[in-house]
């Protein structure tokens, strides 16, 4: 029932299992520290991930069965009936909350389908090891409009026949267009299949757009901070700001190994220039137009009352989030997107 929905590489590394256990533990900790309330931010993030995979109510029973069988086997010496009953209650409290959120998300779609055929109309290199795919609808299914910063799930068939799913941030315009950029990952099955086996004219199955890390309404300053392929959701947000001709103060911060590695350099540079955004780049190798080394907010004069949108490798996001809080940006105005299983679960 769940074959292909979750990354085999993440399961082999243990990240998927850590994310599941961590989310339940975070939920339980919140219930202890905040009786009578739910961790809405954590639940929303998980619900959007689940909705993009088409998770249904009956699948929670399948996960429960296998999860608690594994717990019972691994911790047989310490698990008492009372402990097992307590964790069962926590699991189903969390599951019930997620099921409700996911039903609400499904109801907001422009259609009742999970997977829709989209035709690849263009495939072009983006930097030294990334590829941008542009798609158009391949049938008459109503298209759900995407918000800047959201992602879609993409399903591809692997050589062994498994139809594996992976989530990719939309990197171009929001609305009813579909453009995503993916970096070729070592050991990544879906990125390899996309880069080497998909060509213009091919049909891909993709989901409706999801993701709660989207551009919030308002007129305050916006900081977009990214590293590596984490620039994809921030590029979508930046494009939206450029297309609307925003008069908000915008700061674009990006870190990369080399200038050639920056997957969306042309798009982001042009969009930043269009709205006179402050663009600052950090590169590990020397370059005349960039600072050398790793990004640090201590090198930047941050605007007051700014909202920070953050995406990149986990160590990068932890560092930048800590620096942002130290600089006076409240945690409530720091929005981050995790690619793959969320093993951070920051509040």
Angle between helices 40-53 and 81-107 (to 10 degrees): 70
Q: Which CATH fold would you assign to the domain 222-337?
A: Rossmann fold (3.40.50)
Distance CA 232, CA 283 (A): 18
Q: What is the pLDDT of residue 74?
A: 64
Q: What is the pLDDT of residue 51?
A: 95
3-state secondary structure of 273: helix
Residues forming the active site: 60, 102
Q: What is the pLDDT of residue 15?
A: 54
Q: What is the pLDDT of residue 343?
A: 46
| Residue where the block lists tokens 């609400």 | 104
Q: What does the pLDDT average to over 111-139?
A: 96
Sequence-separated (6 or more) residues with CB below 8 Å from residue 283: 255, 256, 257, 258, 259, 290, 291, 292
Q: What is the pLDDT of residue 137?
A: 97
Length of the chain equals 347
Q: What is the pLDDT of residue 65?
A: 85
What average pLDDT does the structure give for the chain? 88
Q: List beta partners, residue 251.
A: 223, 278
Furthest CA-CA distance within the chain: 64
Distance CA 231, CA 341 (A): 18
What letter would DSSP give residue 71? H
pLDDT digits (tens, 9 = 90+) for 234-268: 999 999 999 999 999 999 999 999 999 999 999 99
* 238-244-245 Cα angle (round to 5): 85
Confidence of residue 122 (pLDDT cuts 50, 70, 90): very high
Same topology between domain 8-107 and domain 116-206: no
Answer yes or no: CATH 1.10.490.10 is held by domain 8-107: yes
CATH number of the domain located at residue range(s) 116-206 in this protein:
2.40.30.10
pLDDT at 3 over 60: no
pLDDT at 54 over 90: yes
Please measure the distance between the N-terminal and C-terminal CA atoms of the chain and give it in whole angstroms.
31
HEC profile for 82-144? HHHHHHHHHHHHHHHHHHHHHHHHHHCCCCCCCCEEEEEEEEEEECCCEEEEEEEECCCCCCC
pLDDT digits (tens, 9 = 90+) for 80-118: 778 778 888 888 999 999 999 999 999 999 999 999 999
Q: Starting at the earlier edge strand, list the strands of the sheet with 116-126.
A: 163-169, 151-157, 203-206, 116-126, 130-137, 178-183
How many of the other CB atoms lie within 10 Å of CB of 295? 23
Q: Quick check: 151 and 169 in contact, CB under 8 A?
A: yes
Q: What is the pLDDT of residue 233?
A: 95
Q: Quick check: 127 and 261 in contact, CB under 8 A?
A: yes
Residue ranges of domains in the chain: 8-107, 116-206, 222-337
In the chain, pLDDT over 70 holds for what percent of residues?
90
Q: What is the pLDDT of residue 5?
A: 57
Distance CA 279, CA 269 (A): 8
- Rounded to two decimals, what is the model's pTM? 0.88
Q: What is the pLDDT of residue 162?
A: 84
How many of the other CB atoms lie within 10 Å of CB of 123? 17
Taking Cα atoms as reference points, which of 198, 191, 142, 139 lies closest to residue 165? Answer: 191
Confidence of residue 340 (pLDDT cuts 50, 70, 90): low
Distance CA 13, CA 11 (A): 5
Lowest mean pLDDT among 18-32, 44-58, 113-127, 235-249: 18-32
| Residue where the block lists tokens 């402990």 | 83
């Amino acid at each position: 029932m769940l074959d292909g929905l979750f990354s085999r590489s993440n399961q082999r590394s243990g990240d998927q299992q850590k994310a599941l256990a961590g989310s339940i533990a975070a939920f339980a900790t919140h219930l202890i520290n905040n009786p009578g309330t739910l961790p809405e931010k954590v639940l929303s993030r998980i619900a959007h991930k689940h909705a993009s995979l088409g998770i249904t109510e009956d699948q929670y029973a399948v996960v429960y069965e296998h999860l608690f069988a594994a717990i019972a086997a691994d911790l047989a010496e310490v698990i008492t009936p009372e402990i097992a009953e307590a964790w069962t209650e926590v699991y189903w409290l969390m599951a019930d909350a997620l099921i409700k959120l996911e039903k609400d998300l499904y109801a907001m779609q422009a259609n009742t389908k999970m997977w829709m055929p989209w035709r690849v109309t263009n495939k072009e290199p983006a930097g030294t090891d990334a590829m941008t795919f542009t798609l158009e609808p391949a049938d008459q299914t109503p298209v759900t409009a995407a918000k800047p910063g959201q992602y879609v799930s993409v399903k591809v068939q692997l050589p062994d026949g498994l139809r594996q799913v992976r989530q990719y941030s939309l990197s171009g315009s929001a609305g009813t267009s579909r453009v995503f950029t993916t970096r070729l990952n070592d050991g990544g099955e879906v990125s390899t299949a996309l880069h080497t086996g998909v060509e213009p004219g091919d049909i891909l199955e993709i989901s409706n757009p999801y993701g709660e890390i989207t551009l919030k309404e308002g007129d305050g300053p916006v900081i977009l901070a990214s590293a590596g392929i984490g620039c994809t959701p921030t590029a979508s947000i930046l494009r939206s700001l450029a297309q609307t001709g925003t008069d908000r103060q915008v700061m674009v911060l990006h870190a990369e190994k080399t200038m050639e590695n920056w997957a969306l350099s042309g798009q982001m540079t042009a969009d930043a220039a269009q709205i006179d955004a402050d663009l600052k780049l950090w590169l590990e190798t020397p370059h005349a137009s960039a600072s050398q080394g790793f990004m640090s907010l201590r090198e930047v004069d941050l605007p007051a009352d700014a909202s920070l949108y953050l995406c990149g490798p986990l160590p990068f996001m932890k560092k930048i989030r800590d620096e942002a809080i130290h600089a006076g940006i409240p945690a409530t105005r720091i929005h981050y997107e995790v690619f793959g299983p969320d093993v951070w679960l920051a509040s």
